[in-house]
Chains A and B, each alone.
Chain A
Amino acid sequence: MRRALLCCLFACLAPLPAAAFDLGDLMRHLVAHPGGKARFVETKHLAVLDQPLVARGEMTYTPPGRLEKRTLSPKQETLLLEGNRLSLQRDRQTLSIDLASQPQALAFIDSIRGILAGNRQALEQNYSLHLAGRLDQWTLTLLPRDMKIAELVLRITVQGSRGQLRAIEYLQADGDRTELRIEPSGGQ
């Protein structure tokens, strides 16, 4: 009886707006995001090239674990992440990778997957998280904890609004940088 009362009390408190925007709030919004289709523009700044490279396409996220990234230009390529299987289709060839076989790649993929799914526990396993901004315009910075991952990526910066991601930036260990801008196109 007392327990039921306590539960009721907490339930009443929960919907109240938090005084400050924190990681818990962000994760709740991310979890609640229904997924859907978005256009993306990916820009790579590579030291070896004189100009940045730009790719465009669409991505579709179906919670909790399916992500399809379809590049349309400059060359068609489809990347599909489902469970622990990453498959890549290009030039009529399909390459399938078992992520469990590649622990470092898995940790990297888990950063994207963890953000999309709002899985704080998975994110904190490999990264230390720093949140700035407000609910409508937040910036989450991920710094790798593991040296092995740090050899791949120095920093991941994610920007968004409520449960919707707007941009992801990867800063690689060799100084090259990739920016991914996301524009929701609505619909499932």
Chain B
Amino acid sequence: MRPALKSALIWLAAMAVGLWLIYSQARFNADMSFFLPSEPTPEQQVLVDQIREGAVTRLLMAAISGGDAQRRAALSQALRQQLLQTEHFISVENGVQESLDRDRDLLLAHRYVLSPAVTPERFTEAGLRAAITDSVDFLLSPLGALFKPYLTRDPTGELPTLIRQLNASAQPASRHGVWVSPDGERAVLLAQTRALGSDTDGQEAALNAFNAAFAALSPRFGDDFRLTLSGPGKFAVDARATIKDDIQRLTLISMLAIFAVLFTVYRSARLILLSLLPILSGVVAGVLAVALAYGTVFGITVGFGAALIGEAVDYSTYYFVQSGRSGVAAWRHRFWPTVRLGVLTSVFGFAALLFSGFPGLAQLGLYSIAGVVAAALVARYTLPDLAGPLPGRLAERPPLALNWICALPRARWPMLVLALVALTYIVVERQTLWQADISALSTVSTADARADGELRSDLGTADSRYFVVVRAADQESVLQAAEQAAARLEPLVADGTLAGYDSPTRFLPSQATQAARRAALPEPGELARRLQDASEGLPLSAARLQAFIDDVAAARVAPVLTREALAGSHLELAVSALTLHNEHGWSVLLPLHPAAGGDLSIPVARVQAALAGSDALFIDMKGEFDALYASYLDEAILLSLAGVAAVLLTLAVVLRQPRRFVTVTLPLVLAVLFVVAGLHLAGQALHLLHLIGLLLIVAVGSNYSLFFDLAEDGRHDPGTLNSTLIATLTTAIGFGTLALSQVPVLQAIGVTVGPGALIVFLLSAMFAPRRISQGC
């Protein structure tokens, strides 16, 4: 068999296996998991669970604007009816009264197991007398008058107690029977999707159903309505679309630009097609490695492939341009060691990322290592056989842009001065360089974030920041734990430290609590006797209270109240919003409401003191996010330093002579300085991914400065210079394309590494030993 055919078959077979493995093993996902810690602390686990499966992630908020208030209200009603017909939503709320009637009926029916006021003392003669007196007095209040119809069934006033808990949070304003924004200009709705927040397909289907229903219904009421949707699900769907769009767009741009460069050099379709081999191999190897190691491949990782194209193509460039005159064997002998060293430094740089607890970074690292190694190996072993004899003209061609490359060394001293200026600038500005906020990494645009904020304030669904979390193995235990935590929070509510808290046990008490409350109810004959004495002299006589005695008798023998019994009510929504069941067991959230006024923060120490000795966790979501980001940043600093150290150490070991080491590394160090100063000057607040970009400048840039070192032996030739220039250009294009990304993670790497690679090349030419300039 001819070597070319054999190589081609081996390559094709390897690619086929790789693609099949990817197809069968890889799951692609574009959700927040990219940013979530791989080994979370218990507090972070709560964060992760909430972001993946929490009920808040099912929230979809909608606003209808345009038209007039009456037609908006009618459209809001029609939309709600229509959406409830689809299977996408658990609930659609728009303020309609009828949906509240079911809650009231449930509360009334189960009041004796739900009300925290039900204790044996309350059903003594004195307790009954006090409770009835209160209820009667309450009739004088406009609020109490609402409960007049229930007085004879509920003379102890359990229903008002329960309703007060239900209405703890502010309701949106309403006009013409539906919820509206405070200015009345928008009708607002609040839906819960059936799909989990982490199920982006399900979220997308729900969004499409919402939009379709609006498109179908709104023309019946007028032609000037607009629909605004927002919520975690919409953000996830948008983010995925953005990343998908980025992958296609960036890959196309980077491919076209790189091929344009290659075409001006090669003028051969065959060589350009052959250049694809290392690229495709690199991408397949990268995705496969990530899929096998992590199972899930993040969309952002695939998007990063656009940058890797620029580097993977380098290896074919080196071979095509450098080996033209001397042949394969000579290339392998003379150039391959340098290429290999470049691969090694890149791999060491990327390897630092593998140790990151930030799963996105670890994936990028593995993807890059596998991609670079595969591309280099294909260029070394497969490409020469497939390409056959190469046209010598590629190596013979006079160096591109030789004139100004030759002129560069004259600028050495000014450049060193400039570097000093950049360093001073960085030192002076060091306080404002970094953005210490995880929102820097979010794909949510500021316009979308503002729309979301407006809808949240219209609907009164502000993000909760503080939670107490309890966990247990089963539902009964977790509800009991929640009740114990609630008991510890009560004193804080009583003394005004907290305005209040929510708990699912308000509407679904543990069976133990239900049993205790049931046991507090006296049997009918006894109750009637006590009522007789208790109501002595009160305006409400015992004779009118037969309905009360009947209800208490029924409650004594009623079955345990279960979640199923609450189905379809707001009570069930409240319970499921705060209860989470997954493979880690059961957990219950108790959101804390800060006391009114002040800065709406909560005295953390007092809550922690109140919970001390219990298993309940106090969590400040914002604090956790900030801490998470800070830990990523600390870790990234450490890993970057380790990566840079690994690259420098490799170079030191291989190059040996201090002079060569300085020649190779000085451009890298200066490039990092210039890029940091330049980005800050351009107004970019640096974050975690810029830092990683700096590491990549060192890891990738060392490839190019090494070729200038190679020329030091005096054996440099136009082919070396040309191939280095082309390789730098394609890499700068590959990474530079990422700067166009709408995904902040990719954009940051792009604006850092793209210019960085070019600067390394220029500085390498500038600080190359004198002898290279003798070639000028």
**B140 touching A71, Cβ below 8 Å:** yes
Count class of interface residues, chain A = 20 to 34
CB contacts (< 8 Å) of B164 on chain A: these are: 93
Q: Which A residues are CB-close (under 8 A) to B138?
A: 75
Q: Which residues of B contact A (CB under 8 A)?
A: 136-143, 148, 151-152, 164, 167, 170, 173-175, 184, 539-541, 544
Contacts of B140 in A (CB 8 A): 42, 44, 53, 55, 71, 74-75, 77
Contacts of B540 in A (CB 8 A): 48-50
Q: Is the CB of A88 within 8 A of B141?
A: yes
Which residues of chain B come closer than 8 Å to A95, judged between CB atoms? Answer: 143, 167
Q: A46-B148, A90-B143, A100-B175 are in contact. List 4 more A-B contacts (CB 8 A).
A: A49-B136, A53-B137, A77-B141, A79-B142
Q: A48-B151, A48-B544, A50-B541 are in contact. Are A100 and B139 (CB under 8 A)?
A: no
Q: Is B173 a contact partner of A46 (Cβ separation < 8 A)?
A: no
Residues from chain B with a CB closer than 8 A to the CB of A48 are 148, 151-152, 540, 544
The residue in chain B whose Cβ has the minimal distance to the Cβ of A109 is B142
Closest 8 CB pairs of A and B: A101-B174, A49-B539, A51-B539, A55-B140, A74-B137, A98-B173, A75-B137, A50-B539
Taken together as a complex, chains A and B put the C-alpha atoms of A77 and B611 apart, in Å, by 34
Residues 70 to 107 of chain A near chain B (Cβ within 8 Å): 71, 74-75, 77, 79, 88, 90, 93, 95-96, 98, 100-101
Q: List 6 A-B contacts (CB under 8 A).
A: A44-B139, A48-B148, A49-B539, A52-B539, A75-B140, A88-B143
What chain A residues lie within 8 Å of B167 (beta carbons)?
95
Q: Is the CB of B539 within 8 A of A100?
A: no
Closest to A42 in B: B140
Q: Which residue of A lies closest to B496 (CB)?
A: A92
CB distance from A96 to the nearest CB of B (A): 8
Chain A min CB distance to B140 (Å): 4
Chain A residues with Cβ below 8 Å from B174 are 98, 101
Q: Which residues of B contact A51 (CB under 8 A)?
A: 539
Chain B residues in 8 Å Cβ range of A52: 539
Q: Which A residue sits closest to B541, measured CB to CB? A: A50
Pick the most buried of B141, B170, B184: most chain A CB atoms within 10 A of its CB: B141
Q: Report yes or no: B141 in contact with A90, Cβ–Cβ below 8 A.
A: yes
CB-CB under 8 A from B137, the residues of chain A are 53, 74-75
Complex formed: what's the CA distance from A50 to B542 in Å?
A: 11
User: CA separation between A49 and B535, bound complex, in Å?
Assistant: 12
Closest B-chain residue to A84, C-beta based?
A: B173
Nearest CB of chain B from residue A25's CB, rounded to whole Å: 32
Partner of B136, one of A53, A71, A79: A53
Bound-state CA distance A75–B142 (Å) is: 13
Q: Which residues of A contact B136 (CB under 8 A)?
A: 49, 53
User: Which of chain B's residues has its CB closest to A88's CB?
Assistant: B143
- Give B287 Cβ to nearest chain A Cβ, in Å: 55
Nearest chain A CB to B516 CB, angstrom units: 25
Which residues of chain A have C-beta atoms less than 8 A from B175's C-beta?
100-101
CB contacts under 8 Å to B, within A56-82, are 71, 74-75, 77, 79
